[in-house]
Structure 1
Amino acid sequence: TSVASIKHMENEAARVGQEKQAGNEGLVVVSAMGDETDRLVSLAEEVQDQALDTRRELDVLLSTGEQVSIALVAMVLLKNGIAAKSFTGGQVAIRTDAVPNRSRILEVDADKLRVELAKEVVPVIAGFQGIDEAGTITTLGRGGSDTTAVALAARLDASECRIYTDVEGVFTTDPRIVESARCLEQISFEEMLELASLGSKVLHTRAVELAGKSQVPLRVLSSFNDAPGTLITREEDLTMEAPLISG
Structure 2
Amino acid sequence: MALIVQKYGGTSVGSIDRIRKVAKRVMDKRNAGHQLVVVLSAMGKTTDELVKLAKEISPHPDERDLDMLVSTGEQVSIALLSMALQREGCRAVALTGWQAGILTDCCHGDARIRHFENNRICGHLQEGKVVIVAGFQGVDEHGEITTLGRGGSDTSAVALAASLGAERCEIYTDVTGVFTADPRLVPTAQKLSAISYQDMLDLAQLGAGVLHPRSVETARKRHVRLVVRSSFSDEEGTYVGADVPAQAESVARGIAHQEQISILWVKGREIHRRTPMLTGNLREAGVMANAVLHGTDLLSFPVATEQHKKAAAFLQEQQESLGFDEMEAEHGFAMVSLVGVSRHASSKVPKTIKRKMKALQVPIRWFHQSERKVSIALPAEQVKTAVRALHRELGLDAGEKLAVK
Asked whether the two chains share a fold, i.e. TM above 0.5, the reply is yes
2:20 maps to what in 1? 10
Show the 5 A alignment for 1:152-163: 152-163=160-171
Q: Which runs of 5+ in 2 are unaligned?
A: 1-10, 254-339, 342-371, 373-405
Show the 5 A alignment for 1:25-44: 25-44=35-54
1:240 is displaced (CA, Å) by 6.1
With 184-193 and 169-178 compared, the bigger mean Cα shift is at 169-178
Report the residue type matching 1:126 in the other structure: A
1:55 maps to what in 2? 63
1:239 is displaced (CA, Å) by 5.2
Superposed CA offset, 1:51-77 (max 9, x none): xx6110000000000111111110011
Show the 5 A alignment for 1:205-224: 205-224=213-232
1:195 maps to what in 2? 203
1:6 is displaced (CA, Å) by 0.9
> C-alpha root-mean-square deviation of aligned residues, in Å?
1.4
CA–CA distance in structure 2, aligned partners of residues 35 and 177 of structure 1 = 21
Matching residue within 81, 98, 102 for 2:110:
102
1:180 maps to what in 2? 188
Q: Which has the larger radius of gyration?
A: 2
2:34 maps to what in 1? 24
1:80 is displaced (CA, Å) by 1.5
With 62-71 and 171-180 compared, the bigger mean Cα shift is at 171-180
1:81 is displaced (CA, Å) by 1.4
2:159 maps to what in 1? 151
Decide which structure has greater strand share.
Answer: 2
Matching residue within 78, 94, 115 for 2:86:
78
With 171-180 and 151-160 compared, the bigger mean Cα shift is at 171-180
Matching residue within 229, 238, 241 for 2:244:
238
Equivalences, count:
243
CA–CA distance in structure 2, aligned partners of residues 195 and 99 of structure 1 = 26
By relative contact order (CA 8 Å, sep 6+), the higher-ranking structure is 1
Q: Percent identity?
A: 50
1:241 is displaced (CA, Å) by 5.4
SS across alignment from 1:152: helix
1:132 maps to what in 2? 140
CA–CA distance in structure 2, aligned partners of residues 239 and 24 of structure 1 = 29
CA–CA distance in structure 2, aligned partners of residues 59 and 175 of structure 1 = 33
CA–CA distance in structure 1, aligned partners of residues 79 and 38 of structure 2 = 12
With 60-69 and 19-28 compared, the bigger mean Cα shift is at 19-28
2:379 maps to what in 1? none
Report the residue type matching 1:224 in the other structure: F
